[in-house]
Amino acid sequence: MLELLPASAAIEDGRLHLGGIAAASLAAEYGTPLLVLCEQTALAQARAYRRAAPEALIAYGTKALPNVALLRLLAREGLGADVSTLGELRFALQAGVPPERLVVHGNNKSDEELRGAAEAGAGLLVLDALEEVDRARAAGIGRVLVRVTSGIEADTHEAIRTSQHGSKFGLPADEAVEGIARARAAGLEVAGLHVHIGSQLLETQAAATTVEWLAAFAARCRLELDGWTPDVVDLGGGLGVRHVDDERPPAAERFVAELVRDLERAWSLHDLPRPRLVLEPGRSLVGRAGVTLYRVGVVKRATESVTYVTVDGGMSDNPRPQLYGARYAALLADRADEPPAGRYSVAGKHCEADTLIAEVELPAPRRGDLLAVPATGAYTLSMSSNYNALPRPAAVLVADGAARVIRRRETLDDLLALEVGADASG
């Protein structure tokens, strides 16, 4: 279990500690559900990326967990930010991410978002459709990448594949060539190419195949576009994290080192000038850093083989099990050294099936126990909702025995403040 938890996690006298603080103390002070982020783990991952590709721009995939304090922490390590909405752009600017380290995405960018990118001086904007060319020029955009769809299907859930034929993202090869030509004719600086095949990748083969495909595509561009070759190649992100014991993603440093070697080999094979590399890790930077703490409520036997352990959150703070069939592990934070008493299903409190974990071994759970779910730093709070009018959880950053709130807990007053005519006077 410790391999799934953040680097700072420890079990002392049967109690889970995160960042040098007992999980029970965090829950008592900040309430539950609570997302606890380990600073040490996030920084270690950022540094692993920088070591493996010291000349690359590492742009944090903000959608994994948009948070100003986290973006600021990563910016201090030299990272940039991959943003895909005006909101994510504002978060990155508020965090002090240097504009030249911003990569702006979006498959349906509004004119306001294009203007926002231009006004911020974003280093790169990724063109995702032919019709964006004229709109980007009108907005005052400078340097762009053209996102190309490789047709390579990543070995991951179909909902998080992004480069297969028919994807809503990017341009098929023929249209990408046209896009480069149009953008150059419009006076945009076409700095290079972008490709991203999907998320939660647990092996390297699809990424290696994509690099080979992209090199061949770049060689085609040289032939068809008067010698144009990409100065920048953005390979996206997508490296997975380990949520359960049988998931074995490669280490970030190994994954990136192999990508760099693949790129050098493929570009050399086609006699292409070596481009600057951009990578956009999200999940692999913050996934393992996060642990969600829940308070156990009802424990109820449903059948001879199914006993539900119900917690005070669920699909409103982590919709991934419902959306993608994502799997998670869990432990009782204050009884972490007790032997399991059986297999249990962890369910949320919402008006749906709302199963967080279909089956997990635990000591016999009791009302009031604290349940810890590892590897929840990415795509949980960022995809959260107010289903059943439930306020979103708080998030705290822990390091060296200290914790600080980096996102306060929502309140019912926050939710009611959005409602027109919600005051008692009507």
Domains of the chain and CATH, by start? 10-31+289-417 (2.40.37.10), 39-282 (3.20.20.10)
* Contact indicator for 42, 36 with CB cutoff of 8 Å: no
pLDDT at 207: 83
Q: How confident is the model at residue 157 (pLDDT cuts 50, 70, 90)?
A: very low
Higher pLDDT, 168 or 351: 351
Q: Is it the case that residue 159 has pLDDT exceeding 50?
A: no
Higher-confidence residue: 163 or 247? Answer: 247
Q: Is the pLDDT of residue 132 over 90?
A: yes
Question: At a CB cut-off of 8 Å and minimum separation 6, what does 165 contact?
Answer: 149, 151, 172
Check if the beta carbon of residue 192 is closer than 8 Å to that of residue 232. Answer: yes
**Residue that the structure tokens 């508020």 belong to:** 94
Stretch 168-178: mean pLDDT, rounded? 89
Element containing residue 192 per DSSP (H, E): strand 189-194
Say whether pLDDT at 186 is over 80. Answer: yes
Active site residues: 351
Distances (CA, A) of 118 to 142, 170, 315: 7, 21, 37
Give the per-residue pLDDT at 205.
79
- 156 pLDDT above the threshold of 50: no
229-248: pLDDT as tens digits: 999 999 998 888 999 998 88
pLDDT at 316: 97
**pLDDT for the residue 92:** 98
Closest CA to 152 of 238, 90, 80: 238
Q: Is 112 exposed, middle or buried (0-12, 13-18, 19+ CB in 10 A)?
A: exposed
pLDDT band of residue 151 (cuts 50, 70, 90) is low
Instruction: Report the distance separating Cα 38 and Cα 9, nearest Å.
Output: 9
| Percent residues over pLDDT 70 in the chain | 93
Question: What mean pLDDT do residues 176-194 have?
Answer: 97
Task: Return the pLDDT at 166.
Answer: 65
Query: In the chain, what percentage of residues exceed pLDDT 90?
Result: 85
Rounded to 10 degrees, what is the CA torsion of 221, 224, 226, 232? -10
Q: What is the mean pLDDT of residues 271-277?
A: 97
Q: Tell me, what's the pLDDT at 202?
A: 63
Average pLDDT, the chain: 93
Look at residue 163 and tell me whether its pLDDT is greater than 60. no
Q: What are phi and psi of 351, to 5 degrees?
A: -85, 55
143-152, 294-303, 328-337, 360-369, range with the lowest pLDDT: 143-152
DSSP character string of 170-182 = SB-HHHHHHHHHH
Q: What is the mean pLDDT of residues 264-289?
A: 96
Please give the C-alpha separations between residue 181 and each of 186, 223, 391, in angstroms, as whole numbers: 9, 12, 48
pLDDT tens per residue, range 192-230: 999 987 656 667 677 888 899 999 999 999 999 999 999
Q: Write the DSSP assignment of 335-404 as a string of letters.
A: STTSPP-EEEEEE-SSSS--EEEEEEEES---TT-EEEEES-SSSSGGG---GGGPPPPEEEEEETTEEE
Asked whether 268 and 310 are in contact (CB, 8 A), the reply is no
Q: 3-state class of 5 per DSSP?
A: coil
What sections of 160-228 are H helices per DSSP?
173-185, 205-224
* Burial 181-200, CB ≥16 within 10 A → b, else e: bbbbeeebebbbbbbbbbbb
Give the Cα separation of 99 and 145 in Å (integer).
16
Containing H/E element for 30? helix 23-30
CB-CB contact of 295 with 312 (8 Å): yes
The mean pLDDT of 244-266, rounded to a whole number, is 92
pLDDT of residue 153: 54
| Measured distance CA(180)–CA(192) in Å, rounded | 9
Q: Report the candidate in 288, 384, 369 with the shortest Cα–Cα distance to residue 329.
A: 288
The reported pLDDT for the residue numbered 150 is: 79
Residues in the chain: 426
pLDDT for 191 beyond 70: yes
